[in-house]
Structure 1
Amino acid sequence: MWILITLFAAGCQSVRTAYQNTLARQTGFLHATMARSLYGMPLVTLYLILCWWLFGWVSVENKSVFIVAATLCAVAQIMATYFMLRVFQSGSFALGTLLAKTEAVLAALIGLPLLHYTLTFGSWLGIAFGVLGAIVMSVQWKNIKQAHKDISLLLGLASGLCFAITSVTASMASHALSGSIITRAGVTLWYVLALQSVILCSIQIYKSKDILAPFRQEFALSCKVGVLSSLGSIGWFTGFALVNPALVKTLGQIEILGTLYYSKMRFAEKMTKQQWVGGAMILISVILVVTSTIK
């Protein structure tokens, strides 16, 4: 079940990221980051009501853990999205998305002490292979000695770290609730998006001195970003509640197919042989993870 849910989430995110890149170019980082939460709230609210009706409500087993984990998840996701959009401007659409894929191994390492999940050798091999593939795709080997000074590399790795924190804390928050896994994931997602909307809308209103500022720029495009983001997030958060987030994010790297398509067709970016080799490595990592977890 988690495999199908993750594939759905990855597909939605691939298209959403392309639209969000366009939105960032037209409206700036703040609005593009805010759109994914504010404009996704209506759909997520309807989804949560449907979960409540079909699967029942939840109870809070550990309120403090839920609040801390879900709040950290919201803030980390804001920072991760911001860093990734910055890479789009300093590097490329493909580069930004690929560097963020280091989140898989980071989620595995962060999740070990916090979630107490165990991974098979095949899963670790798949995670490591995926991260290596992302490195092969993104690093300019002739400038390897200066890699630490590459702002695109640093921002991309920061995005990956923040996305990893998002994955792990989302899982922690869901497990602090009791009830249906589906509803638990929905409640966690709704809280995260609501908090993000409040934070980002407040900043945008304060900077523009206009209370309607969040709704004045590229409304139709913002709606597309919000809807696709909410659909993808429903998939991600449900996956995080079902299995180890590291496995979810590694399988989610299948999104690379969409990234390559949009990079080439929508943004006219050229893909090198090195990047195609790295992409193949990422696909192999996905196969390794899936085959090692199917029993």
Structure 2
Amino acid sequence: MITSPIWLPATLLAGAVQAWRTAVQRRVSQSLSLNAAGLVRYLYGIPFTFLLLGGYSLTTGAGWPGTAPLFLIFCIAGGLAQIVATNLLIMAFAHRNFVVGTAYSKTEAVQGAILSFLLMGERLSAMSWAGIGCGVMGVMLLSTGCKRMGPVDFLRALGQPAAMTGIASGFFFALTAIGIRRATQSVETGDPVLAALVVLVVTVALQSVMQGGWLLWREPGEMRRVFATWRVSGQVGMLSALGSACWFTGFATAPVALVRIVGQVELGFTMAFGHFYLKEKMRRSEGMGLMLVAGGVVLALAGALS
């Protein structure tokens, strides 16, 4: 159920900010280990999450709300799933380029639709499901480069490391969305933005402890490099905090699957960043895939508003 129209602009902004953050984070990942590159988005994001919550509280006069007993469990579950998803996405970048790695992870839209139905009973209209199908076709076109493939070739392509890690990343991002939505529902307030920001502050702090603790235990030498890259890592943290605030607001006010379908607009921004920021070549097939993804977003919105 959609509880506020703010979910749409929040989701569109989230897609743009996340594409920017992922592009910057990929550069950080070239000088840090997998877990260290994942940690910077949470560790350097903490100050910005408090700034966002503090600024909103000062503006609205809202205080810290109460929470339901399972609030922390949902935050931990969603935060841990996001850590795993981010690490898998970084691994996908190592196998293929930035655009293709992100494209595989965007199968989270259909995975999220199925999981949110099974775990939370969220239902979508037939037109929204058609939008999901259209978007998945666009994602597959982006990932295969418009090559002609038989069933065997297609299955072989799905068995490649980039596909497996990208699709697994999408699965854990879908679990992240469900955990965060349940966490926002556990905040005792009628203000969905406040609920989203409270969940953001708690989840990012928990993620810093979880992944930071792992890094200190398994790769203590990497922690020094995390702090040495503060100039670029600070950008990752800022963008991550802002993007997550928008995503969490979307999850607090609309069904998970709908937010993730519309969030596929990130692919358009991803292609732009991949071309202009990372200097990766853009092919005609990627433009065709993007048009299908955009068509899927339009169908999903039409289904939600009908």
Aligning the two structures, in what range does the TM-score lie when normalised by the shorter sequence? over 0.9
Q: Is the 8 A contact 2:32 2:226 kept in 1?
A: no
Q: Which residue of 2 aligns with 1:149?
A: 159
Letter in 1 for 2:301: V
1:88 aligns with 2:99: no
Q: Which residue of 1 aligns with 2:64?
A: 57
Letter in 2 for 1:164: A
Deviation, 1:217, is 2.8
Q: Is the 8 A contact 2:29 2:90 kept in 1?
A: yes
Deviation, 1:52, is 3.7
Q: Which runs of 5+ in 2 are unaligned?
A: 1-5
SS in 2 for 1:27: coil
SS in 1 for 2:290: helix
1:8 aligns with 2:13: yes
Deviation, 1:256, is 1.4
Letter in 2 for 1:168: I
**Greater than 3 Å deviation, 4+ residue runs:** 50-53, 140-143, 207-212
1:41 aligns with 2:46: yes
CA distance in 1, matches of 2:223, 2:99: 33
Deviation, 1:273, is 2.8
Q: Is the 8 A contact 1:131 1:282 kept in 2?
A: yes
Task: Report the TM-score when normalising by structure 2.
Answer: 0.90
Give the 3 Å change call, closer, same or farther, for CA 146–118 of structure 1 in structure 2.
Answer: closer
Deviation, 1:2, is 1.2
Identity %: 30
Q: Is the 8 A contact 1:181 1:238 kept in 2?
A: yes
Give the 3 Å change call, closer, same or farther, for CA 130–201 of structure 1 in structure 2.
Answer: same
Task: Report the TM-score when normalising by structure 1.
Answer: 0.93
Q: Which residue of 2 aligns with 1:205?
A: 216
More displaced, 78-87 or 206-215? 206-215
Q: Is the 8 A contact 1:201 1:214 kept in 2?
A: no
1:287 aligns with 2:298: yes
Q: Is the 8 A contact 2:11 2:259 kept in 1?
A: yes
Alignment of 1:259-278 (within 5 A): 259-278=270-289
Letter in 2 for 1:162: F
- The C-alpha deviation readout for 1:187-219, integer Å capped at 9, x for no partner, is 211121111101122222234446962643311
Give the 3 Å change call, closer, same or farther, for CA 244–214 of structure 1 in structure 2.
Answer: farther
Q: Is the 8 A contact 1:205 1:213 kept in 2?
A: no
CA distance in 2, matches of 1:76, 1:212: 22
Q: Report how many aligned residue pairs link the two structures.
A: 293
